[in-house]
Amino acid sequence: MELTGAQIIIECLKEQGVDTVFGYPGGTILNVYDELYKHSDEITHILTSHEQGAAHAADGYARATGKVGVCMATSGPGATNLVTGIATAYMDSIPVVAITCNVGVSLLGKDSFQEVDIKGVTMPITKHNFIVKDVTKLADTIRRSFYIAQSGRPGPVHIDIPKDITALKTEYEYQKPEEIHPQTDEIREEDLDKAVQLIARSERPFVFVGGGAVLSGASEELKQFVDKIQAPVADSLMGKGAYDGRSQNYTGMLGMHGTKTSNFGVTECDLLIVIGARFSDRVIGNSSTFAKNAKKIHIDVDAAEINKNIQCDCSIIGDAKVILRKLNARIEPLDHTDWLNHIYSLKQTYPMTYHKDVLTGPGVVEKIYAMTGGDAIIATEVGQNQMWAAQFFKYDRPRRLITSGGLGTMGFGLGAAIGAKLGCPNQLVFNIAGDGCFRMNMNELATASRYNIPVIEVILNNHVLGMVRQWQTLFYDQRYSNTILNDKVDYVKVAEALGARGIRVTSNEELGPALKEAMESDGPVVIECVIDCDDKVWPMVAPGASISEAFAEEDMQNGK
């Protein structure tokens, strides 16, 4: 049948099973929005307060569900407002399809009103991008974009469509989406054999899990692998929930704000098995001393990550779930009781602690965990709030922590929480925020109110940019340059003005009732938790130091 470009866009979204789109209309994309209006019973469109919020919501939807998130914007500033959200998804390998419309083909390159070369802008921050100047190629481009976003190492894809292409007509025929298969072409038998040999010879193996294990759905295979080789497990921020955070073998996060148990254990191990992680600088610290006594096995779907930051002794390229299944079939059960007992003793010696006599960030997160039993999706902003959410909530399954890891995007969490809640409507969804981050995109609270989306926004209000202040305290002789936010903003009134319920909490005694009220609400709630401006994230590794040099508050008090 013959359809316009705008109609083809909608039909292709329906082909791909898209049920929710986040966006903001404008002149060049009006034809598409006109068709969305006609198909509102099949595709729900969420009008965000800002295009960046749309990109973050699509990202959060994708992280929580495992499906492709979709966002839309018009040309010029509409398109450029998506850029931070696209880059956030790119850094964390999240499947998002961003659709923008541009000025007509004849006006491209002429500095037309609201014209930007958005394809050029997004090229470095997308897995692939397109500009469609021929309506006959539109459907296939959209289909290819969804395939690229999901296959191999996932990532965002951007499609730019000139306005006249959305009005032109061409033949359209329904196509069933191409099936996504795990990437296995580069899994080599000799690599598997070498890994098995290294594992068999090891006396002190340690498993480090990253976001790739979450994306590949490898949790069950990972558990079998860990049980078989009897190894402790640490994770990255992106790897949370791939391995059960309540397990005795779990040691916590690795790196700059990782536990001492993880940092010391990796330093002492003789074999480090890395699954779906990219050796971020925040994880490895000083690269020359990172796990220097260990052989290293790196399992990753992206060959470009192999030996990029850390040289490895063995690499297996391909889907982590498939690789672990193959390794599990080849490995004999091993006994590392003495090594595990040593790790357990480290956990006893270096527990995660905080001041429980006053309201603190860690205490708030632990209370949320206790009151939900861990059955909640936790979105975060970036900084201290993010680290506390990673450290003090036990993630027992994947896709429960929704956070900007690679890019570290302040203002990410609220939009992402909205997307996660729409993708998983039966789950409690919290966004843990600092007051600085909340200011970045607090306008999305109006989005939650407009659609009565019951997300719970928890603001850890220390009246400062907490993580930056922490660095200024420790490394800049307490020169607090532009990090103090002790002004007249009333977040409870802001919440109420934007249509949400606002609650202020200043003590531990007030926290439980406030959380109970929020969890029972059928609309958005903001809980402002007023904490001390000098609460810090512990442990910490100084920039450029070895992870074995992790220090905590008690170390500073003891002059270490």
Name the residues annotated as catalytic.
51, 113-114, 163, 467
In whole angstroms, how far apart are CA 315 and each of 277, 301, 312, 512?
Answer: 12, 10, 7, 48
One-letter amino acid identity for 64?
Answer: A
Task: With CA atoms as reference, report the closest residue to 454 among 430, 487, 475.
Answer: 430
453 within 8 A of 421, measured Cβ to Cβ: yes
Q: Is the peptide bond before 539 cis (omega within 30 degrees of 0)?
A: yes
Q: Would you mind telling me the total number of residues written for the chain in this entry?
A: 560
SS3 272: strand
- Ramachandran class of 255: left when φ > 0, alpha when ψ lies in -120 to 50, beta otherwise: left
How many CB atoms are located within 10 Å of the residue 338 CB? 9
Task: With CA atoms as reference, report the closest residue to 403 among 64, 156, 95, 126.
Answer: 64
Looking up tokens 């921020």 gives 237
How many CB atoms are located within 10 Å of the residue 397 CB? 15
Strands 44-47 and 20-23, sheet pairing:
parallel
DSSP 112-175: -TT---HHHHHGGGSSEEEE---GGGHHHHHHHHHHHHHSSS---EEEEEEHHHHHSEEE----
One-letter amino acid identity for 71?
Answer: C
Query: Both tokens of residue 50?
Result: 């800002």
236 within 8 A of 283, measured Cβ to Cβ: yes
Cα separation of the two ends of the chain: 75
Query: Both tokens of residue 407?
Result: 């890019």
In whole angstroms, how far apart are CA 192 and each of 54, 144, 319, 333?
Answer: 42, 32, 13, 16
Q: Supply φ then ψ for residue 378, to 5 degrees.
A: -115, 110
221 within 8 A of 321, measured Cβ to Cβ: yes
12 within 8 A of 35, measured Cβ to Cβ: no
Query: Both tokens of residue 308?
Result: 């990029």
Cα 300 from Cα 305, distance rounded (Å): 7
